[in-house]
């Protein structure tokens, strides 16, 4: 077995190209593993390598397709963590596919024996690859236009209790909140179509509350309708219904998965609808500072996918939050 660093996955003299996809990993090597070898192992396992040299390497241009770890720096104020800079040839990734990009970058390396912990801290996506994704169709500017609200922050809230309300009472909460001064309300991440309130009932009562509040205040109001479901067929059905009853915005959850998120974003663009993403599940891999994925990276991936805005967390209240990150 040849060390990864000697197989070509470490190159301290590598000249980064503008077309390279760059990834910054925080690595914690296993005791006795050289940091350079750990970085090379991450580069290898996230590109062309396996655990040993195989003769089929000669059937392709491995020198070109190998990811290159080219820099390793100690993480300040730690004794066992290092920043590893890795460059990937853009051709390693399918155009416009977040599922394929992540299958390489995070697909297998996080369970690799050479490291005891691994965190993807940041990425630089080259313009040539970025252009293959649709990106957000609208964003906050269009949302302000549709709410006719300029010069002040948009003020919103989430319906509580998030589970257990009947459709009628859910709509009542929407009405009272909007009439009281909110610009919008939103569904929470886990309100979909449960026995106590099916999704059609929720949509209809939400829209009734929105329309009543708009009439009472003379202002444009809105509510984010969660269309997350078990299958894409159900997602599309709920999205079409939300549009039919007059909503201008829908929301989905991060736990739907990257392909479902991209598909929902394409639908939203084609149907002139705003799309909000709740980061449900994010903290399972973003909260630990030495292992997982930095939320900054998730935000970049979601903008590539095409969501207009994302649930960003808070610096106050019950949930963990970093002011600098937000």
pLDDT higher than 90, residue 27: yes
**At 297, is the secondary structure helix, strand, or coil?**
helix
Q: Retrieve residue 174's tokens.
A: 């929407």
Q: What is the mean pLDDT of residues 69-96?
A: 97
pLDDT higher than 80, residue 315: no
- Determine the pLDDT at residue 216: 97
- Determine the pLDDT at residue 111: 86
- Determine the pLDDT at residue 112: 85
Q: At what angle do helices 295-305 and 258-270 cross, to 10 degrees?
A: 40
For the domain covering 4-130, report its CATH number.
3.30.70.150
Query: How do residues 173-187 score in pLDDT, each as one tens digit?
Result: 999 999 999 999 999
pLDDT higher than 80, residue 258: yes
CA distance 275 to 238: 13
- Does 278 participate in catalysis according to the annotation? yes
**At 9, is the secondary structure helix, strand, or coil?**
coil
Confidence of residue 320 (pLDDT cuts 50, 70, 90): low
- Does 300 participate in catalysis according to the annotation? no
Q: Using alpha carbons only, how large is the chain's radius of gyration in Å? A: 23
Q: What is the mean pLDDT of residues 280-295?
A: 91
Topology of domain 140-310, CATH: TIM Barrel (3.20.20)
Q: Where are the domains of the chain?
A: 4-130, 140-310
pLDDT higher than 80, residue 58: no
| Phi and psi, residue 252, nearest 5° | -135, 170
Q: What is the mean pLDDT of residues 11-15?
A: 96
Q: What is the mean pLDDT of residues 55-77?
A: 86
pLDDT higher than 70, residue 150: yes
- Provide the 10 A C-beta neighbour count for residue 254: 22
If phi over 0 gives left and psi between -120 and 50 gives alpha, with beta otherwise, what is residue 216? alpha
Active-site residue, from 6, 17, 131, 160: 160
pLDDT higher than 90, residue 283: no
Q: What is the mean pLDDT of residues 296-324?
A: 83
Share of the chain above pLDDT 70, in %: 94
Q: How far is CA 163 from CA 41, 135, 195, 322, in A?
A: 46, 32, 11, 28
Active-site residue, from 278, 291, 309, 318: 278
Q: Retrieve residue 141's tokens.
A: 């500017």
Confidence of residue 318 (pLDDT cuts 50, 70, 90): low
Q: At what angle do helices 295-305 and 98-105 cross, to 10 degrees?
A: 150
Of residues 193 and 143, the one with the higher pLDDT is: 193
Q: Retrieve residue 182's tokens.
A: 């909110």
- Determine the pLDDT at residue 314: 72
Q: What is the mean pLDDT of the chain?
A: 92
8-state DSSP, 79: S
Confidence of residue 256 (pLDDT cuts 50, 70, 90): very high
- Determine the pLDDT at residue 52: 65
8-state DSSP, 303: H
Confidence of residue 63 (pLDDT cuts 50, 70, 90): confident
């Amino acid at each position: 077995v040849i060390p990864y660093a000697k197989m070509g996955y470490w190159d301290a003299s590598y000249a980064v190209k503008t077309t390279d996809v760059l990834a910054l990993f925080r690595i914690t090597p296993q005791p006795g593993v050289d940091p350079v070898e750990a970085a090379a192992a991450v580069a290898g396992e996230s590109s062309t390598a396996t655990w040993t040299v195989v003769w089929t390497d000669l059937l392709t241009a491995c020198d070109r397709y190998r990811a290159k770890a080219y820099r390793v720096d100690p993480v300040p104020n730690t004794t066992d963590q290092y920043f590893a800079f890795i460059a990937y040839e853009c051709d390693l990734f399918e155009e416009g596919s977040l599922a394929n990009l992540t299958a390489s970058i995070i697909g297998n390396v996080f369970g690799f024996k050479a490291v005891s912990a691994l965190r993807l801290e940041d990425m630089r996506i080259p313009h040539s690859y970025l252009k293959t994704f649709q990106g957000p169709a609208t964003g906050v500017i269009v949302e302000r236009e549709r709410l006719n609200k300029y010069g002040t922050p948009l003020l919103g809230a989430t319906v509580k209790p998030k589970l257990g309300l009947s459709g009628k009472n859910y709509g009542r909460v929407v009405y009272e909140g909007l009439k009281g001064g909110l610009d919008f309300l939103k569904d929470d991440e886990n309100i979909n179509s449960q026995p106590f309130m099916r999704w059609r009932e929720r949509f209809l009562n939400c829209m009734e509350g929105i329309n009543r509040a708009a009439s009472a205040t003379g202002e444009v109001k809105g509510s984010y309708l969660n269309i997350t479901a078990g299958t894409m067929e159900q997602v599309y059905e709920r999205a079409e219904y939300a549009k039919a009853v007059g909503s201008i915005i829908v929301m989905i959850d991060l736990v739907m998965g990257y392909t479902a998120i991209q598909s929902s974003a394409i639908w939203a663009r084609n149907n002139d609808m705003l799309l909000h993403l709740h980061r449900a599940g994010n903290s399972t891999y973003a909260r630990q500072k030495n292992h997982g994925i930095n939320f900054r990276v998730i935000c970049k991936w979601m903008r590539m996918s095409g969501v207009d805005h994302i649930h960003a967390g808070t610096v106050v209240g019950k949930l963990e939050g970093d002011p600098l990150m937000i």
